[in-house]
Structure formats: C-alpha cells, structure tokens
A and B are shown apart, each in its own frame.
Chain A
Amino acid sequence: MITELGHFALVLALGVALVQVVVPLVGAHKGWAGWMQVSVPLALVQFGLVAGAFAALMHAFITSDFSLRLVVLNSHSLKPMLYKITGTWGNHEGSLVLWTLILALFGALVALFGRGLPPGLKARVLAIQGLIGVAFLSFSLFTSNPFLRMAQPPFDGQGLNPLLQDPGLAFHPPFLYLGYVGLSVAFSFAVAALIEGRIDAAWARWVRPWTLAAWIFLTIGIGLGSWWAYYELGWGGFWFWDPVENSSFMPWLFAAALLHSAIVVEKRESLKSWTILLSILGFGFSLIGTFLTRSGILTSVHAFSTDPTRGYYILGILAFFVGGALILYAVRARELEAKGVFSMVSRESALVLNNILLAVGALVVFTGTIWPLLAELFFDRKLSVGAPFFEAAFTPFIVGVAIVLPVGAMLPWKRARLAPALRKLAPAAALALAVAGLAWSVGTGRSLLAPIGMGLGAWLVFGAGTDLLARTGRGALPARLGRLRRLPRADWGRVLAHAGLGITFIGISGLLAWQVEDIRTAQVGETFSVGGYEVTLEDVSRAQGPNYETTVATIRIARDGREIAVLRPEKRVYPVQGMPTTEAAIQSSALRDLYLVIGDPQDNGGWAVRTFIKPFTAWIWTGILIMSLGGLVSLSDRRYRVAAGAARRGRAAARGVPAE
C-alpha cells in the first residue's frame, strides 16, 4: 500500500511540476501577480510529493519488501540496517528518485528563501526548476520506474554490491547529487535572466550562494569518493581519471570558475555574459556526466545500443536544456552589456585568467573523456585515453592556477600595479622556494614532481597567509589582530579555501613522489623491513561477519625496535554475491600513512602481503576538508544573509534604470 502511495506521489509530482512550468511563466510574461506567486506553493508541494515517494521507496528497502523488483535486485534481508537505508540510492532507479528529490528540495529552498527576489525573476527561476523536474520525473517514471512489483516475489534479494557496503561510498552519491543539482539553480537563474534580458550585481549576489553551496557539496562528494577509493581498493590510489570521476570533476571545475566570475559581476558589473555562459555550462556538464555514466556509452558503443532508451532520453534532456539555453544565450547575450572599466593588470583580469585556466582545463578533461568514443565513431580506431594523458594535458592548467592565484588575490580591483603585490608576496615566495629546495634535497633527485608540487602547495598556503595579513592593514600588532577578528567571513572563507588547495597540492605531490611499496610472500612470524619500518606478520585467522566471511591478519609495525602500530588488514568474501573485497588497514599520521593489505595464501604456506608507506597522504583530504570549510565560512557571511533585504532596498532605489 505504501509503495502504491509512493508511486502515485511520484506521478502527481510530475503533474504539479507541469503546472509549475506553465502558470508562473505565463504570469511573469503577462505581469499577473497571482499566477507568478502560485510558483511558491507549487514548488513546496512538489518537494513534499517527491519526498513522500522517496520515503515510500526507502520504507520498502528497510522492511525488505521483496515484492518490489528494485529491492530484490539490490537488497538482502541479512544486510546491516545502514546499508538497507543507503541501498535506496545504491542503484540507478533509486538514485534517480534521490536526484529528483534534491532538485525539488532546491526548488523549495528558492521558494522559501527567495523572498527578496523580484516576483518576475522568482517565478521564472521556479518555472525553469519545474521544467528540469518534469524532465527527470518523466525519465524516472517512463524508463526507470523504481516502483515496479514482482509477479512472484522471491524469498530473499540478490544483495547490494559489497563494494558499496561502506560508509564512505554510501554518502558519496548524495553529496555529488547535491552538487550537480545545486548547479541547476544557477542554471535556472541564468535562463531566467536571459528571458528577462537583465542581470546586475543583485543577480550575482543571489546566484553566488547557490553556486558556492553546490561547489561545497561537489568538493565533499569528490573527496569522499577518492577517500573511499584510497582505503577500499587495496593499493591506495586516490584518483584514476576514470570517465565516471571525470564526470564529477568537470562540473566542479566549472563551478569553481563560476564562483569567481560571479564575484566580478557582483563587485564590478562586468563579465556578465561570460558568467551566464558558465552557469549554463556548469549544469550542462552535470547533465553530460549523468549521460556518460548512466547510458553505458563509455563502456562501449555497443553497450549503449543494446538498451538505448535511457541513453536517448538523457541525451534528449541534455540537448533540450543545454541547446535551448545556448540558443537563448546567443539571441539575448548581446543585451547584457558590461559596465566596469578596468585595466590589464587588475583583480578582474586575474579572475579572467583563473576562469580561462579552469574552463580550458575542464574542456581538456572532457575531450580526453569522450575521445575514445569519437575515435571509434569517426576514425574507426579503438583506443584508450588513460591517466598518462590527463596527467600530461591537464596538470599544466592547474599548475597555472596555483601560480597565478596568490598574486591575483593580492591585486586590487579596477587598476593595479604588479610590483607592490609582488613585493608583499616576496616572503611567501621565499618560503615556497625553501620548501621546494627541501623537497629536492630530501628526494632522490630523480623527479621534479616533489619540489614543484610541494613548492606550489607552500606558495598557495603562504600566499593565503599573506592575503590574510594584508587585510589587517598597517599599524601596531594589537590593532591588526583586532581587525583580523573583525574581517568579513567571506575573506576568511577565501583564505581558507585557497590554503586548502595548497595543502591538497602538498599531499598529492608527496604521495606521488615518495611512495614506497613492497610486495612479498611472508610466513606467519616473519619480520621484514620496508622503508625503515620493521613489519611482522604475527597471525592470520578467519572470522565471520554479519553478511561476509573474513580472513584477518595481525601485523605489527615497529621502528628502531619501538612498536608503532598493530594493524589488522582483512580480506572479505560476501557469499551472496560471491565477491571478495579487501579491507586495507591504515595507520594515518601527519607525515605518512602505513597501508597494509593481506592477500591470498601462497603455495609455500605463506601469505601475500603488500606494504605501502605513503607520505603526506592525509594532507590530500585535510586540504579538501579545509577547502569545503572555507566555502562554508564564506557562505555564512552576513552579507549573503542580509542580501535579500539589501537587494530589495537597492532595487527600489535603482528602479527606473532600463535593462542594460
């Protein structure tokens, strides 16, 4: 019964979304206040309905209702409760309902918090959100219905992929969806602005928090995914340039670019048309990611053609929204004339350079991701584009970002001179060079990766510090400290996010340059030495988990005779799926991770043991965490919270100014 109610709620949500598109658009065109205002209750009702449908689906998973096809395919009665709940979105159909739920949530939030928005803009934004809702609700209902019943329910389900039974991965998709879908708000604002033919500082002030929120969620989502890969996959890789990863990385890069260009619109009323384009591309690449991962087209062109309905549907959605928005852009962008005048050396120009580097970097990732497809379709060549390409082709752009960033952050708006900014940054540059020199001397000297990466990371961190100090002005220390405390949160947020990027740089280059690896067969009781650590395989035993069998090794690690850690790596087998997984044991510390994996028993009675020493690995995720924290701090800035009221006042004063 609950399942049927959920199904019905989803159908009803589609109906509500249709009304949410038509009525407010007509209202905004004709200037009928009532028709515009109806968008608010509609957005709230749509959220309620989709939430109801999602709750019903989750109920079926929690109660293990095996009359539901989706539950049979993706759940099992023995599964721990946490994974029964997260199993709701651990599959195509369920994750699509979650996607739609988050879309409706953002619509409802715009409806609730957008009180200060001009009624026409608000109605149009909610109508576009509704239109995206229509597309995805119909996609769900017509091609991927989660509520289909089984004619003959089996006794038990087929279980969830064991790799997904992990807290890191269980919460990775919701964060990514919050990011992808969050970009839809910027998209809706952009399209609404194009329809209205006007965009100003107030517009940017409304768009920025949403983009910032989406960027934070994407950052956390990508971070969770790479952290999961690190500890779960058994050899400690954290990024593979896999098409699926690239699909989340491209929107992240565009969101980062959009964040920065929206600042220029807000502060200087310039870069308007480019910001609109970025808003369209940001969400466009979210849709492209959805298409690439869900159509199966990347596995092979043939996998796509075996069941093309879903692929074509998403391609249709993609073509409609991105194509439609771009056509609208082509027609209307001319009307968005820039205002601010600025010189070649200025904060504006630095942000333009930032945008070029991020956007071109994202396009390089895109080209590499779809190249195998293009090569097969047009040149009849079956080839691969793997990590070596992306490392060679993408890295220069992110290195460019790192070089320019601290300088750009120090430049004043409008007209600047390079020399004073560089003079202030001289200590940071000296420190960064010192760090690079240290990295060079510590390393074996065979690779430039560590000195360059570490130096750039230090440049970013010290540059952020310089930025912070410069905000406190001149004078005595107590006065400067006082000013530091009163700095706007947006300043703190910027400094934190930039420093976080530097910390991630240090982590990645330390790991890539200095990792030590050891693979061997060890007898129980045997001690061997890896990178200055003495590793002893003490014991190997078997145990039983809730829904798996496991082999646990006890490994003691000592340095100079002093015990550092006892680690217990596991090798699990999930009988329902007949699938083994590795559970690496990791001892993490500030300067290095010890990473141990136990493998199969060998012919001579020993066990395969893999030992890794991974320097600076924890810095990667610490940096990502600090970046997202910086985003959060910036988001909590008073100026955003009062933006609605301030904008209303500003708007009233500016009334009568014609559309630009």
Chain B
Amino acid sequence: MKRLLLILTLVLTQVAPPVWAVTPDEVLEDPVLEARAREISKGLRCVVCRGENIDESNAGIAKDMRILVRELLTEGKTNDEVMDFVVERYGEFVLMRPTTEGANKLLWAAGPVLFVLALLMAGLWLRARQKASGPGEEALSAEERARLDELIKG
C-alpha cells in the first residue's frame, strides 16, 4: 500500500507494504504498447487498495487488472476503449480521474468558480480601499480638529 504515506494510516490499518508493482513477466514486448499500458494503469484505481493506482499496487487484483489492460491493448483496442471496458466491469470507482458527468461538475468547477469569486471580491474591496480615506490617515476627529484650529488661531 504505497499511498499510506503518513504514520497514522499505517498505524490505524495494518496493511501489506509495497514490494512490487509491475513485474517483469507482465511487461509487453512492444515498448509503445507497454508505454500505453503504463499510462492507462496510472489512471485506474486498484479496487481493494486505499487510493492506489494499479500501476503502483501489489495486490493480486491489481495484477489481474494490469494483465487485462495489456490483453485489451494487444487486441488492438484504443486507450479510451480499454478504459471504458474496465469501467464497465469494475464501476466508476476505478477511475482515478473523476468524470465530469452529473454532480462531478461541482467538483471540477469548484476551483475556478471560487477563484473568480475571490478575485471579484478582492477587486471590489481593493477599489473601496483605494477611494476610502482610512481613519487615522487623513480624517481628523472632532477633538483633533478643535485642537488644530486652536493651534492655527493661537
């Protein structure tokens, strides 16, 4: 379980450690196809692990999934077709990169929307600050004005 970086998780869940992910016997002969397999594997989550992709995982099921991906690629399927096939079989859960369908739009939009809102608010506030004369900077209190008048007259 390579992702369990921090001590607490390691402590709270007794898990198998990393030893090997991709083993030499899985590697495809064709380097281009193998590179594609690695790329796809990085986007697929191992279903029994905690947030690990199948490329890093040592779990048996991850190995099965890696072999499945390689078989599908050897059959001549495109990257997208392989992804679709695996998602069909194991569910949306295996996608490391969430889709943009349905409620997930909220997830993807959260950052940009928050950023634009924050910029707008900051912009308005900055404009106000630009115009406002802060207390203590220019404005005099009644008391101070009286004292000033006194000095000028004096």
Cβ contacts under 8 Å, A6 to chain B: none
B126-154 contacts to A, CB under 8 A, are 126-127, 129-130, 132-137
Find residues 589-613 in chain A having any chain B CB closer than 8 Å to their own CB: 599-600, 602, 608, 610
Q: Is B114 an interface residue (CB 8 A)?
A: yes
CB contact between A360 and one of B5, B43, B114, B127 (< 8 Å): that residue: B114
B10 and A383: CB pair below 8 A?
no
Chain B's nearest CB lies how many Å from the CB of A161?
5
B97 touches A388 (CB 8 A): yes
A533 to B116, CA, bound (A): 49
B-facing mask of A329-360, CB < 8 A → 1, else 0?
A: 00000000111111110000100110011011
Contact of A151 with B by CB under 8 A: no
Q: Which of A521-579 contact B (CB under 8 A)?
A: 521, 571, 577, 579
Check B22–A233 contact: CB distance below 8 A.
no
Count, chain A residues at interface, CB 8 A:
86
Bound form: Cα–Cα A388–B108 in Å = 12
Q: Which of B2, B9, B45 contacts A386, CB < 8 Å?
A: B45
Size of the chain B interface, CB-CB below 8 angstroms:
62
Report the bound CA distance from A169 to B11 in whole Å.
Answer: 12
**Number of A-B contacts defined by CB within 8 Å:** 211
Closest residue on chain A to residue B27 by CB atoms: A519
Q: Mark A364-394, 1 if CB is under 8 A from B, else 0.
A: 1001100100010011011111111100111
Q: Which of A122-130, A236-244, A618-626 contacts B (4 or more CB under 8 A)?
A: A236-244
Contact among B16, B19, B94, B97 for A582, CB-based, below 8 A? B19
Considering only residues 94-130 of chain B, those with a C-beta below 8 Å from chain A are 94-99, 102-104, 107-108, 110-111, 114-115, 118-119, 122, 126-127, 129-130
Q: Which of B18, B25, B43, B91 has a CB less than 8 Å from the CB of A233?
A: B18
Q: Which of B49-57, B64-72, B73-81 contacts A (4 or more CB under 8 A)?
A: B49-57
- Beta-carbon contact of B24 and A367 below 8 Å: no
The complex places the Cα of A296 from the Cα of B22 at a distance, in Å, of: 29
- Give the residues from 18 to 55 in chain B that come closer than 8 angstroms, CB to CB, to chain A: 18-25, 27, 42-43, 45, 50-51, 53
A381 to B99, CA, bound (A): 12
A196 within 8 A of B: no
- The docked-state distance in angstroms from the alpha carbon of A392 to that of B98 is 11
- Chain B proximity of A233: nearest CB distance (Å): 5
Question: How far, in angstroms, from A64 to B90 measured CA to CA in the complex?
Answer: 46
Q: Which residues of A contact B22 (CB under 8 A)?
A: 519
B15 smallest CB distance to A (angstroms): 9
B20 / chain A contacts, CB cutoff of 8 Å: 234, 599-600, 608, 610
C-alpha gap A14/B2 in the complex (Å): 38
Contact yes or no, A235 B18, CB < 8 A: yes
Candidates B10, B17, B97; contact of A392 at CB < 8 Å: B97
Contact of B10 among A163, A364, A397, A520 (CB under 8 A): A163
Contact: A393 with B122, CB < 8 Å? Answer: no
Residue A90 at the chain B interface, CB threshold 8 Å: yes
User: How far in angstroms is the closest Cβ of chain A from B52?
Assistant: 8
Residue of A384, A577, A599 touching B98 (CB-CB under 8 A) = A384
In the complex, the answer to whether A385 meets B107 with C-beta atoms within 8 Å is: yes
Q: Are A95 and B107 in contact (CB under 8 A)?
A: no
By a CB distance below 8 angstroms, the chain B residues around A234 are 2, 18-20
Across the two chains, which residue of chain A brings its CB closest to B51? Answer: A242
A226 touches B5 (CB 8 A): yes
Known: A161-B14, A339-B137, A342-B129. A360 touches B91 (CB 8 A): no
Beyond A243-B51, A245-B6, A367-B110, list 17 extra A-B contacts (CB 8 Å): A163-B17, A164-B11, A225-B5, A234-B18, A234-B19, A299-B13, A356-B115, A356-B119, A360-B114, A367-B107, A386-B51, A389-B98, A396-B111, A582-B17, A582-B18, A602-B25, A608-B24
Q: What are 22 A-B pairs with beta-carbon distances under 8 A?
A: A90-B11, A161-B14, A163-B17, A173-B8, A225-B6, A234-B19, A235-B2, A235-B21, A240-B51, A270-B129, A293-B12, A342-B130, A344-B130, A360-B114, A360-B115, A381-B92, A382-B93, A384-B96, A386-B43, A386-B53, A571-B19, A600-B23
Residues of chain A touching chain B, judged by Cβ–Cβ distance below 8 Å, are 74, 90-92, 95, 161-164, 169, 172-173, 176, 225-226, 228-229, 233-235, 237, 240, 242-245, 247-248, 270, 293-294, 296, 299, 337-344, 349, 352-353, 356-357, 359-361, 363-364, 367-368, 371, 375, 378-379, 381-389, 392-394, 396-397, 519-521, 571, 577, 579-582, 599-600, 602, 608, 610, 660
